[in-house]
Structure 1
Amino acid sequence: MKLKKILIATTNKGKLREFKQLFENTGIEILSLEDMPERIEVEEDKETFLENAIKKAKKYGDFYKIPVIAEDAGLEVEALNNYPGVYSARFYSIDFGGKVEVKENKDKANIEKLLKLMKDKENRKARFVSVVVFYYPEEFGFWTEGYCYGEITDKPKGEKGFGYDPVFIPEGYSETMAELDPEEKNRISHRGKAVSKLMERLKKLMN
């Protein structure tokens, strides 16, 4: 099997940037949904990261007739019964814990709500989860997962990441994800671990 191009099924610029970094030096051209001539919308309405990722991979792969990588990822906070979970990208807008107005952007609104709910919590344990699905249209697919464990800070720090990175300190570190250099973040992150496993399987298929 020869792979020349892969569509990363996302419009999230931060996520796309990380995928491109992870696929550097592979010789595979990485495309985003914004590179596609026609856009379709796929709603992430499932109850698990895996179900959402599979749905996106199949819908986009079958529509564009191109190999697809789709990911669903999020933050699970122990003291909040693993919320925001699959609602991570739109946590600010759901009823759990009350809705928050978007003032600057959705990331900051999500963080504002999270820190408000965590204000008096002693247990700060959390983990990032990434489930990545590779789908070769009408032939086969597989999935991998990655986790990054850590804890929630009491205020945002750092400008290098996106999403909840400014309020998440990985185990063994004193800096937040948003304070780490991209290479270091990719080495330890949930997404980096899931993509590393995926790359191993792709290499076997391509040989």
Structure 2
Amino acid sequence: MDKILVATTNKGKLKEFRQLLSPLGIQVLSLEDMKQKIDVEEDRETFLENALKKAKTYGDFYKIPVIAEDAGLEVEALDGYPGVYSARFYGIDFGGKEPVKEDKDKANIDKLLRLLKGKKNRKARFVSVVVFYKPEDFGIWTEGYCYGYITEQPRGDRGFGYDPVFIPEGYSKTMAELQPEEKNKISHRGKAVKKLLKKLEKLYSTENPDLQGLDRTGQQI
């Protein structure tokens, strides 16, 4: 395996994946690097189902190993929303739609803070489900969580998405105020990818397919 496709066009997410996958020492491509373009709608009800759909669709189309992720923010006081709708929270009916004045990330944050205004319970967690799929061979998946709470105002200019309003447990800084290396150690995505790398190392060193996720034919267990 000399190259792998990370199924995203999100530059912030791609940057983090490239940092996290650097131990593999292989070329990391994004969807922007592919000449033929296809769209995969994230229309499933769980993070795992969305990640599996993307991994298999892109892997079978491009015929190269793929890493696909679905991730999001779950807020306790909002019954788990935005959840799988995290990237498009501003545009769904739950809590009313939010106008996009600057960009979608800002609109998502504005809506989140509006819905949490006056609420004492601001507990939340980031969730990441990562799927590795090698066409016509096998697939595996892992998950990672980062627990914390939502601030009342955005802080920091690093990261992306909801990072400016999320403070991890045990920290006083938001995700957007942390250095990338520090964030990757504690983030949901960092934890999921590290688990994935360990599973891949085990698989390639022992050729043991008895791993969480998919069997060697790519069928979901």
TM-score range, shorter-chain basis? Answer: over 0.9
1:97 equivalent in structure 2: 95
What SS does structure 1 have at the residue aligned with 2:24?
coil
TM-score of the superposed pair, with normalisation by structure 1: 0.98
- Picking from 124, 128, 142, the partner of 2:140 is 142
2:63 equivalent in structure 1: 65
2:120 equivalent in structure 1: 122
Alignment of 1:37-56 (within 5 A): 37-56=35-54
What SS does structure 1 have at the residue aligned with 2:5?
strand
Alignment of 1:53-202 (within 5 A): 53-202=51-200
CA deviation profile, 1:104-141 (whole Å, cap 9, x unmatched)? 11000000000000001110000000000000001110
1:27: how far off?
1.2
Letter in 1 for 2:141: W
TM-score of the superposed pair, with normalisation by structure 2: 0.92
CA deviation profile, 1:14-44 (whole Å, cap 9, x unmatched)? 0000000101242111000000010100000
Letter in 2 for 1:107: D
1:20 equivalent in structure 2: 18
What SS does structure 2 have at the residue aligned with 1:11?
coil
Matched residue count? 205
List gaps (5 residues or longer) in structure 1. Answer: none
Distance across 2 between alignment mates of 1:23 and 1:129: 19
Distance across 1 between alignment mates of 2:94 and 2:20: 34
1:201: how far off?
0.8
Distance across 1 between alignment mates of 2:25 and 2:95: 45
Distance across 1 between alignment mates of 2:33 and 2:159: 23
Q: How much identity, in percent, do the aligned residues show?
A: 77
Runs of 4+ that moved beyond 3 A: none
